[in-house]
Amino acid sequence: MDKIVSLCKRRGFVYPGSDIYGGLANTFDFGPLGVELANNIKKSWWKNFVQNRSDIYGLDGGILMNPKIWEASGHTQGFIDVLVECKKCHKRFRTDQIEQDLPAGRQECPDCGGELTEAKKFVPMFKTFVGPVEDSASIAYLRPETAQAIFVNFKNIIDSFHPVLPFGVAQIGKAFRNEITLGNFIFRKLEFEQMEIEYFIEEKDWKKYFEEWEKEIEKWVIGLGINKKNIHWRKHDKEELAHYSKHTEDIEYNFPFGGFKELYGLAYRTDFDLKNHSEKSGKDLKYVDLKTNEKFFPHVIEPSFGMERTMLMILSEAYCEEEIKETKRIVLKLKPALAPIKAAIFPLLANKPDLIKKAKEVYEILKKEFPTVWDDRGNIGKRYYSQDEIGTPYCITIDFDTLEKDDVTVRERDSMKQERIKIKELKEYLEEKLNE
């Protein structure tokens, strides 16, 4: 884990938040490569779960919403963390997490072994105020889940698109939680991105669709390049269930800190949300089956994905150290579609104008197509290793033969095999490889 954190900072994937002011716990900023990786994750998710399907509609709801939404959704009363504080070192912990980390029955500070205070309840939603007056009438919350924007737009989607059950609404967006336990790097942040789907169904079908979604989630995770042995499902017991859920299972990933931990949640939310919003807003949020004229609240299966946990999983899975002729190389074996940079252009020598001119031509062709970088520092071996560390799948060297034959050396990251490819065929060659 330390190696991944260090690589992320050194190479510009993830920086600690507010670093020059000593940081702010559980906040992080994405550097240039982190932004690309995050965008690739979100693009892959949106393509797979929205664009490739005909039963899912996209939405982008607000972060700030009417506070009545959080009463109707049960968050102001039911979205609660239970905290304890160490009497000795004064660190605070969530009781559910201490229970996971300590042997059964032991209740002591996981850091210093000190005695813990009585448990206290706490609502981890961030409050803010809308307008110039900071009173109880102007309170608003930063959303702790993107899901509620979907429920409150349910009628809008029905009126605009007339979808027939089963159908889903998907959203990618920021969510905020006042997390008090120190997270493991980007695993637990104050501000994170969720990729959520509310899939509306008839009550009788909940089990069938729950199982279908388990398979869909697993397929997507494996498609990201994750080994099946590093994931498993864990069912929530009754005490652990969120206030809105009748049945939840988490898909867990074998993270490099502390083993299997929650990656995503899959919940059967029943008709809890639509029913409550209908009651509290006074608006009819029932669905009408046009074949039978039956009117009812659809039930909901909710696959909920965390973008940052996806990123941490992908980085953990891809990170490799290899011995090559007594030198160590660090390589991120990312799927090409996820790699922040797709190709790097190397002129063999930085002080030969003919080589530089030709290499710039190749660089300009590829840069228009996908993220491509230029590197003319040091020797070629060092440039390869530098690109391996950030997962660039292809490095392209322009040498003296290029000037005569108009071809280049393309070196593949994982196998380190090299091939000569004609410049006029290079774009198509790479496009094909990157889409594999």
Residues that bind ligand GAP (CB under 6 A): 145, 147, 177, 179, 188-189, 192, 194, 196, 262, 264-265, 302, 304, 306, 308-309
How far is Cα 31 from Cα 189, in angstroms, rounded to an integer? 16
Q: How far is the CB of 302 from ligand GAP (least distance, A)?
A: 6
Neighbours of 314 (CB within 10 A): 23
Q: How far is the CB of 55 from ligand GAP (least distance, A)?
A: 20
How far is Cα 250 from Cα 265, in angstroms, rounded to an integer? 4
Q: How far is the CB of 189 from ligand GAP (least distance, A)?
A: 4
Q: How far is the CB of 94 from ligand GAP (least distance, A)?
A: 11
Q: How far is the CB of 27 from ligand GAP (least distance, A)?
A: 11
* Smaller CB separation from ligand GAP, 79 or 394: 79
How far is Cα 315 from Cα 334, in angstroms, rounded to an integer? 8
* Smaller CB separation from ligand GAP, 173 or 393: 173
How far is Cα 98 from Cα 95, in angstroms, rounded to an integer? 5
Instruction: Provide the pairing of β-strand 56-59 with 120-122.
Output: unpaired
CB 172 within 8 A of CB 194: yes
- Residues contacting 301, CB < 8 A, separation 6+: 199, 201, 206, 209, 210, 213, 266, 267, 268, 269
Q: How far is the CB of 15 from ligand GAP (least distance, A)?
A: 17
Q: How far is the CB of 251 from ligand GAP (least distance, A)?
A: 8
Residue with smallest beta-carbon separation from ligand GAP = 306
* Smaller CB separation from ligand GAP, 126 or 374: 126
* Smaller CB separation from ligand GAP, 96 or 134: 96
Three-state secondary-structure class, residue 329: strand
How far is Cα 40 from Cα 13, in angstroms, rounded to an integer? 13
How far is Cα 48 from Cα 68, in angstroms, rounded to an integer? 33
* Smaller CB separation from ligand GAP, 11 or 189: 189
* Smaller CB separation from ligand GAP, 186 or 430: 186
Q: How far is the CB of 142 from ligand GAP (least distance, A)?
A: 12
CB-based burial label for 316 (10 Å; 0-12, 13-18, 19+): middle
Neighbours of 69 (CB within 10 A): 22
* Smaller CB separation from ligand GAP, 189 or 413: 189
* Smaller CB separation from ligand GAP, 40 or 73: 73
Instruction: Encode 255-314 in three state secondary structure.
Output: ECCCEEEEEEEEEEEECHHHHHHHHHHCCCCCEECCCCCCEECCEEEEEEEEHHHHHHHH
* Smaller CB separation from ligand GAP, 173 or 340: 173
How far is Cα 183 from Cα 27, in angstroms, rounded to an integer? 10
Q: How far is the CB of 212 from ligand GAP (least distance, A)?
A: 18
What is the residue whose two structure tokens read 């891809």?
318
